[in-house]
Each structure stands twice: as structure tokens, then as C-alpha cells.
Amino acid sequence: MISGRGRAASVAALVGAVILAVAGPAGAVGSAQPAACAAAPRAAEAGSGAASRGDDDAMAGMAGMAASPASHPMKELADRLARTPTGGTLTVQPGVYRGGLVIDRRITLVGVGHPILQGDGTGTVLTIRAAGTTVRDLMVEGSGPGPVDNPAGVSVEADDVVVRDNHIRDSYTGIWVEGVRGARITGNVIDGRKSVAVSGASPAMSQGDMGGMKMGSGHGAAQAGRGDGVSLFDATAPLVSGNTISDVRDGVYLSHGSDIRIECNSVVGSRYAVHGMYGVTVTVLRNRFTTDESGTVMMYGGPVTVDGNVIREQVSAATGFGVLLLDVGGARLVNNVIVSNRVGLQIEGAAGEGHPAAVERNTVALNQIGVGVFPTADAVMSRNSFVQNTVQVLGLGPDGGGGPSRWSRDGVGNYWSDYRGFDRAGNGIGDIPHVEGAAAGRLLAGDPALLALATSPSFTLLRAVEQRSAGQHPVVVDRFPLMAPRSPSLPPVATRVALGTGLLGGLSLLACSLVLVRCAKRRPPSFGKRS
């Protein structure tokens, strides 16, 4: 039998672990969820307006279409395109159409049953050169190998083009948009060439053995590398919305351009989910980025708004950034959930330009490093939740410092899961500042392998001494720390993982305590006996 004291100790251990799980990452953030994305608006049905006036011959045989897709030369589709008047709709029957196609007049090209436009492994499969064209419900595959000439599944070379609800695969770049205004890229599925290396990267493969891989496809051309899912070059007012992108180089790459809106996309298994260079007025809104090498990487240009995204498991040892800001003016990061990355947020940029980054109401949780700040970083951080990151904030200056960034706005700071202060006034603001010291940061910056020891008793003691010692130069002094979080909650998967880990630990403690109590009960004490 176990004594009442033993049972009480065991139950206390379990209850304590459960409380730790619930009060830790699962419960230390607010209840608000990031806003959900609306379904992508669908274009008008193919039969409306002037549709099909030049395509009656194609529609006649659709009712008796065989279940097995037929094979057609692309010239057949090109001839039907030539008979379709400007503003009409060309409906494509199920089947495989082999070769490249160029649209040079404004039409709607719509597939039934996702017919396949299959390139021959050279150049771009579908090129759109007519303003106002819509292309939807097609399967597009088999571009050239790249990177020379930037071959793509679909190339947009005219204003106000809509590319929606297509499935693009086995192409170097999924959708290429260059020098045009008002492109709308919505609701597409883009699968990259997972079996080959990212273009420009080491030939060493992350998927399988490069030496044993067959370089080539059913189209007879070598697959030299992976390009981007959607590539925007000098595009004005493009919308990239509701796309599902996987296994590409960069999910959405943008170079120059302005008024760019990237929203409600899912990017998985790629290098960077969003990679921006010199973009002006860029909005990255309500996306889901998971298991890429890095999430949102914004370099130069600005302003940039990153709002309401969930960015998870960017764990590359070389990058692994949830969000990286490099010399971006007027950046705003609000309402994001940034969880389980190598570095949640890293900021580097010229200070003193008058446009500090505004970092507000974000949940930065369970990352190896919550925030990395260079001495050149200029940011104002308020109402964020920093929850159980291995290192909450790492100063990246030579002395471990983090520059002039401020950790509160208008008398409101941030929530810190390791804050040990109190709130006697009951106003939700801690009475003593929260301090993150620089000494531990200097050690970790000098040898990142020490991250494995960052939660050890020695580092815990070092941080405690830093918080109380004079003469230190801390990387963070939050003078108005929050007692409760005000940021979005963790996504369900992260919460379940945190709860599962805590409950597993609680069960382990319970089992150990039962064993210890039973052993202590059976084995009498040996003190006081002589040999």
C-alpha cells in the first residue's frame, strides 16, 4: 500500500505537470484566432455573355466524351483559338494537348475536367499576351528545365489577366508575371519539382539519392532544377490569393514592383515561403507557411505589412526564420502567430531613418530564438507574447547588444512567459521591468551549439543574476510588461503538441513518484546500523 502522503505527492506531481502544460504554451496566449480567409471569388461561368461563339464545334461532342482522356496535338487547340472571337470563351474538352500555346487575343480559356496542357519540356507551356484574358480549370505541366529564359507553366505578359483554379506541376516556375498591371493569381495548386534540387543550390539532394535519380520526365527533357511557385517581376498591383504551393524554390518571389498583395496562400516544403526584394507597398496577409526553410523574407524597399499569418516549423539550420526583415522601411508586423521556428523574428536595418518597424500583437512561441535583433534594428514592440522560446531575445551585436529598439508603446509592453514580477495595482502591467540580459546572448551568439544548454540550471542562474545586477547592458528592458497576453492564440496543432508534451511529462512524473514511494515503503532506512 502507498501511504496517504505518497499518494498526495504523486497526485500533486501530475496536477503540477498538467497545470504547467495548460499554463505554458497552450494557455499563455490570447484566445483570438487569426481571421479566416474567404473563398476565392469564382469567375463567371463559361456559358455567359459572348461565350462559345467561336467554339460551337468543340461543345458539340462533349456529351459523349469518353472517360479516358484523348491525346491531341496543341495545333488543334490553337486552330480553335484562332476561330474564337475577342471576348469569347474557348472551352477545352478533357484530354491531353501536347505542345505550347500562345493566347494573343482577349478570351476566357476554361477547362472541363481539368484537361492537360502538356509542354514538350522546352520553354513555357502557356503564354498570355492579351490584356483581360482569363484562364481557369486547366492542368498545365512540362515546361523547360530552366533557369535559362525562365520557362514557366503559365507566363503572364499582359495587364488584367486572371489565372485561377488551375493545377500546375512539373514546371520550372509555376506562374511568371512580368512588367504588367492587375494580374490576379487565385486558387491555383502549384506543385514543384520535388525530385530535383532547388535551382542555384547545391546539387546534393534533400529528397533521396541524386545519383540514383532519373533526370527526365515523360516529356523527354531533363529537369534541371526548381524555380518559384509564383514569380512577380516589376509587377504593379498584382493579387496572389488562395493558392496552394508546395516543393518550389520560393513560394512567392517578388522583385521590385508595387502595391503587391499576397493573401490566404498555403506554402509548404519550399525554400522561402515569400521572398521580397525592393517591393514597394507589399501586404502579406492571412497566409499559412509550414515546414519551409524560412517563412517571410523581406529585403530592402518597403513599406511592408505582415498581418495575421501563421508561420510554423521553419527550422533550417542555415536560415529557419519565421520572419526576416532586412533594411525594410516602414514595416508592420501585427497579429501573426510565429511558432516552432529556429528564429521567430529577425530584424536588421539602418536605424535613425524615421520609419521604425512596428511589431505588435504577435505570438512568438516555442522557437529556438524568439527575436534576433541587430544593433542597426529600429523597431517598436508592444502587446506581443513571447512564450517559452529557448532564448527569448538574442542581441546580434558584437557585444550581444540589440540596438535602440523599444519594448513598449504608450505605456504598454509585452507578455513574457518567464516574467517573475507582480501587479499590485491590478492594472495588468507588471510593477517591475522585465530584463533580458546580454551575457547569455553573447555566449549563445559565439557558439550556437550552446542552445542545447540554454534551459540548463547554469543559464537559468546566469539570467537571474543579469536581471538583478548593476552595470550590465541588457538587450531588453521592458518597463511595462503585461501580466496576461493580448495576442492571437497558438494554432491547434501547436497547442495539442504542447499539451501532449506536458501530459506525457506529467504521466512520467506520476510513474516515477509511484515507484519511489513504493521503494521507500519496502526498503527500511539503513542509518543507525553497524556492520
Is residue 505 pLDDT above 60, yes or no? no
Range with the lowest mean pLDDT among 160-169, 370-379, 410-419, 492-501?
A: 492-501
Percent of the chain with pLDDT over 70: 66
Name residues whose C-beta falls within 8 Å of residue 129's C-beta, 6 or more positions apart in sequence: 102, 103, 104, 157, 158
The reported pLDDT for the residue numbered 527 is: 40
Strand spans (E) along 171-303: 173-178, 184-186, 189-191, 230-233, 239-241, 244-246, 250-255, 258-263, 266-268, 272-277, 280-285, 288-290, 294-299
The reported pLDDT for the residue numbered 22 is: 44
The reported pLDDT for the residue numbered 80 is: 94
- Reported confidence tier of residue 147, pLDDT bands at 50, 70, 90: confident
Range with the lowest mean pLDDT among 82-96, 168-182, 216-230, 250-264?
A: 216-230
Is residue 276 pLDDT above 70, yes or no? yes
Is residue 472 pLDDT above 80, yes or no? no
Q: Please indicate whether residue 467 or residue 158 has the higher confidence score (pLDDT).
A: 158
Name the pairing type of β-strands 134-136 and 173-178.
unpaired
- Reported confidence tier of residue 149, pLDDT bands at 50, 70, 90: confident
The reported pLDDT for the residue numbered 1 is: 45
Count of other CB atoms within 10 angstroms of residue 493 = 14
Range with the lowest mean pLDDT among 123-127, 137-141, 273-277, 391-395?
A: 391-395
The reported pLDDT for the residue numbered 96 is: 95
- Reported confidence tier of residue 70, pLDDT bands at 50, 70, 90: confident
pTM: 0.79
Per-residue pLDDT reduced to its tens digit, 107-146: 999 999 889 999 999 999 999 999 999 999 999 999 998 8
Is residue 12 pLDDT above 50, yes or no? no
Is residue 229 pLDDT above 60, yes or no? yes
- Contact yes or no for 346/372 (Cβ under 8 A): yes
Tell me the average pLDDT across 304-312: 97
The reported pLDDT for the residue numbered 225 is: 77
Name the pairing type of β-strands 357-360 and 331-334.
parallel
The three three-digit cell numbers of residue 323, written as one number: 520572419
Residue owning grid cell 497558438: 490
Longest dimension (CA), the chain: 109
The whole-angstrom separation of Cα 217 and Cα 229 is 19
Per-residue pLDDT reduced to its tens digit, 326-367: 999 999 999 999 999 999 999 998 655 667 899 999 999 999
- b/e sequence 418-450, b meaning 16+ C-beta within 10 Å: ebeeeeeeeeebbeebbbbbbbbbbebbeeeee
Range with the lowest mean pLDDT among 26-35, 75-84, 155-164, 458-467?
A: 26-35
Per-residue pLDDT reduced to its tens digit, 198-227: 654 543 333 333 222 232 333 444 356 789
3-state SS, residue 361 = coil
Among 141, 311, 163, 334, residue whose Cα is nearest residue 232: 163
How many angstroms from the chain centroid is the CA of residue 269? 10
The reported pLDDT for the residue numbered 209 is: 30
What length does the chain have? 531
Among 254, 36, 446, residue whose Cα is nearest residue 262: 254
The three three-digit cell numbers of residue 101, written as one number: 500555346
Residue ranges per domain, the chain?
A: 4-26+495-522, 120-198+218-492
3-state SS, residue 151 = coil
Mean residue pLDDT across the chain: 79
- Residue 54, CB-side half-sphere exposure with 13 Å CA sphere: 18
Tell me the average pLDDT across 440-456: 64
How many angstroms from the chain centroid is the CA of residue 503? 28
The reported pLDDT for the residue numbered 459 is: 64
- Contact yes or no for 102/75 (Cβ under 8 A): no
How many angstroms from the chain centroid is the CA of residue 333? 14
Is residue 2 pLDDT above 50, yes or no? no
The whole-angstrom separation of Cα 341 and Cα 317 is 10
The whole-angstrom separation of Cα 158 and Cα 92 is 22
C-alpha distances out from residue 244 to 184, 248, 263, 296, Å: 15, 11, 11, 16
The fold of 120-198+218-492 is: Pectate Lyase C-like (2.160.20)
Tell me the average pLDDT across 25-46: 52
Range with the lowest mean pLDDT among 114-123, 258-267, 386-395, 398-407?
A: 398-407
Tell me phi and psi for residue 287, to 5 degrees. -95, 170
Is residue 4 pLDDT above 70, yes or no? no
Q: Please indicate whether residue 36 or residue 178 has the higher confidence score (pLDDT).
A: 178
Q: Please indicate whether residue 521 or residue 1 has the higher confidence score (pLDDT).
A: 521
Is residue 311 pLDDT above 80, yes or no? yes
Q: What is the DSSP string of 484-499?
A: S--SPPPPHHHHHHHH
The whole-angstrom separation of Cα 110 and Cα 214 is 34
The reported pLDDT for the residue numbered 317 is: 86
Is residue 48 pLDDT above 70, yes or no? no
- Contact yes or no for 344/389 (Cβ under 8 A): yes
The reported pLDDT for the residue numbered 442 is: 63
